[in-house]
Amino acid sequence: MTARTPIIAPSILASDFAKLGEECRAVAAAGADWLHIDVMDGHFVPNITLGPDIVKALKPHVSIPFDVHLMIAPVDNYLEAFADAGADIISVHPESGPHLNRTLKRIRELGCKAGVVFNPSTSPSVIEWMMDEIDLILVMSINPGFGGQKFMHSQLAKIARLREMIDATGRDIDLEVDGGVTVETAPLCMAAGATALVAGTAVFKGGPSAYAANIAALKGG
C-alpha cells in the first residue's frame, strides 16, 4: 500500500463541551479533515454523550464531513434522525442490531456513507460477505465508552487483516482507528493499513492555539 497522509478526525468527546461550536470551528481551521462525533446511550456502552439535536446545532459551524459513530442499541430507530441532523458518515456496531446488512443499506438510502465499527473482540469475519455495502471500517483500539484509554496493540493485527480484505475488493474503503491514537501510535496504525485516525486528547490538549501543531504532528508533519 502506498504511504499516504492520514485523514485526521478530532473527537469532540475530548473538547470543551461548554464551547462546542467554537471548538469545532477551531479544529476545522487547524487542519482537521473530518469531525468525529461519538454518540453513546448509556446502554450499549457505559456512558452518555449527545444526540441528534446537538449534531444539528453544530452542522452550520464547519464544512468538513461529520463522522458520526453510533454506540447505541438498538440502532436502527435513530439512523434517520442523525442523517437529518447532518451526518455525512454513520458508523454502527454489528452488535447494535439484528441485521447489519439491512442497517448499512438504510444508512446509504438516507444519503450517508455507511461504516462498520469493530470492538476489540469483534472478528473481521463479520463483514466478509458484505464488503460492497461498506464505505468505512472503524477499528476500536480501546473498549468504547470513555476517552483517554491506552492504545491496545493487539488491534494492529486486526487493522492489517481488514486492510487485506479491503484491498481484495479493489474498493476505496477508508480504514479508521479510534482509541489511544497519539503521535507514537499513529504511525503504527498507518503502517498496519489505516487511512483515517480519530484523536481526542492528542488534538485537543493545549487548547486552540495548539490544535494546528497537534494535527500536523499526527499527520507526520
- pLDDT at residue 147, rounded to an integer: 66
Tell the residue number behind the cell numbers 469493530, with chain if given: 118
**Residue 33 among known ligand-binding residues:** no
CA distance 71 to 92: 7
Q: Is the pLDDT of residue 221 over 80?
A: no
**pLDDT tens-digit profile of 82-96?**
999 999 999 999 999
Three-state DSSP class for 36?
Answer: strand
Q: Is the pLDDT of residue 75 over 80?
A: yes
- pLDDT at residue 2, rounded to an integer: 46
**Residue 11 among known ligand-binding residues:** yes
The type of residue at 125 is: S
Least Cα distance to 44 among 117, 134, 114, 132 occurs for 117
Question: Residue 200's pLDDT band (boundaries 50, 70, 90)?
Answer: very high
- pLDDT at residue 146, rounded to an integer: 67
DSSP H helical ranges for 5-99: 20-29, 52-58, 79-85
Question: Residue 162's pLDDT band (boundaries 50, 70, 90)?
Answer: very high
**pLDDT tens-digit profile of 95-145?**
999 999 999 999 999 999 999 999 999 999 999 999 999 999 999 998 876
% residues pLDDT > 90 (the chain): 91
Question: Residue 1's pLDDT band (boundaries 50, 70, 90)?
Answer: very low
Mean pLDDT of 33-50: 94
What pTM does this model have? 0.96
**Residue 145 among known ligand-binding residues:** yes
**Residue 180 among known ligand-binding residues:** yes
| Fold entry, domain 7-218 | TIM Barrel (3.20.20)
Least Cα distance to 184 among 170, 196, 199 occurs for 199
- pLDDT at residue 3, rounded to an integer: 61
**Residue 99 among known ligand-binding residues:** no
Cα 150 from chain centroid? Answer: 17
Please tell me the total number of residues recorded for the chain in this structure: 221
The better pLDDT of the pair 177, 147 is held by 177
Residue 153 to residues 57, 126, 133, Cα–Cα distance (Å)? 36, 21, 28
**pLDDT tens-digit profile of 49-66?**
999 999 999 999 999 999
Q: Which residues are catalytic?
A: 38, 178
Task: Specify whether the CB–CB gap between 44 and 73 falls below 8 A.
Answer: yes
Domains of the chain, by residue range, sit at 7-218
Per-chain mean pLDDT for the chain: 95
